[in-house]
Amino acid sequence: MESALWALIAASMGMSLLCDHFFPSLSCIFAAGLGALLIPSTETFQPDAFLYIIVPPVVLQSGLSYKWSRRRSKLTLFMAWAGTTITTAWTTFGLFTMRYTGLSTAAALAAVCSPTDTVSTGVLTRRADPDLRRALQHESLLNDAVGFLFTHLFAHADGLEASSIAVLVLTIIGSAAVGLFTSHVHITYTDHGAVSTLICVLFLYSIVEWARGSGILALFLFGIYTRQWREHDMEALTTTLDVIVDVLEKYVYVTMGTTLRHIEPGHVGVAAVVLASLYTSRIFHVTLGGCLIRGITLEEGIFLIGCNVRGAFTIALASLSGIPMFQSVAILIVIWTHVLGLITIGPIGTILDII
């Protein structure tokens, strides 16, 4: 099994070299297809492995590459926090008014499907303008964190009670504080070696998630603080992370292909409502953010709307819920957004001179 998996990863990496120039999403679809066809039916996507092993290096890499830009940072924060909130609310409204589910179930499913995916966004925008690409990656990381917190909130509460909102706010503050404190200790007492840093972030992420906080937010701030106040050269760490993340991207898509077996035709209608809600809210909050912040051009706004892809993070949240409908809808959403990304991102980016 292991040798076959690594062979599939190598094949998908070769395919990515051929496809990334014009159709960056095609290599993702190719890798998922290989996984669906060639990995035994007894093997399935493991959400815990994805969240606790694969997510931390990706988050750390993004945090270490973060550069404060007044224009981009405002846009990133707006799209991550306000955008995810708007998307969750609008998708909940769509599902509830169409009478597919009850209000609490609709809110939980909306929270699962609302955040864009960090790994998928990185693949899709590999050749985009560097500043715009970083903004999208940081947005996807932060809205993953927000989506995860919303998922916990709606899964364990029947409504938006004051106590639930207070716990959510405290969770955000606590996760950020733990990430910053750990980073301060790390830069003070270590030399930022690749091995020691990776061990540190894995422990940090696991502990924060065990405490029902946001490991993504804690790690993202860990990376930002470490980069800003580093006392040692981190070339070995950044080089190691680049290699690890590149391999992990392909591993994610190959293993994610096994989830294609869980699609149920009866959930196509629910997924269609979710997909329409995701794109409607994306158009709205990107337009609203552009008007309020005045930090993007029309061309960049069109490109941002197209970068609305979901991926393994959505499937992981759906799998952890244990609800078959969530898993089926999540898989359909991931497939459809990748197909739309395949059709739009490369051509639109080329036409608008962004890629």
Phi/psi at 168 (nearest 5 deg)? -60, -45
Residue with the two structure tokens 């690409």: 133
pLDDT in the model for residue 12: 54
The predicted-structure confidence for 28-47, as pLDDT tens digits, reads as follows 666 666 666 666 655 667 77
Whichever domain contains 220, its CATH number is 1.20.1530.20
Phi/psi at 214 (nearest 5 deg)? -110, 100
How far is it, in rounded angstroms, from Cα 287 to Cα 301? Answer: 7
pLDDT higher than 70, residue 114: yes
pLDDT in the model for residue 71: 64
- H or E element that contains 131: helix 130-155
pLDDT higher than 70, residue 9: no
pLDDT in the model for residue 276: 93
CA torsion 165-171-172-173 (nearest 10°) is: 110
Q: How many domains does the chain divide into?
A: 1
How far is it, in rounded angstroms, from Cα 252 to Cα 242? Answer: 15
pLDDT in the model for residue 340: 84
The predicted-structure confidence for 161-180, as pLDDT tens digits, reads as follows 556 667 777 888 888 899 89
> Which of 92, 79, 55 lies closest to 214 in space, CA to CA?
55
pTM over 0.85: no
Rounded to 5°, the CA angle 189-194-196 comes to 45
How far is it, in rounded angstroms, from Cα 300 to Cα 287? Answer: 11
Which range (113-122, 144-153, 346-355) has the least confidence? 346-355
The residue-averaged pLDDT of 278-293 equals: 88
Residue with the two structure tokens 């957004």: 337
pLDDT higher than 70, residue 22: no
State the residue range of the domain holding 14.
Answer: 2-351
The residue-averaged pLDDT of 98-125 equals: 82
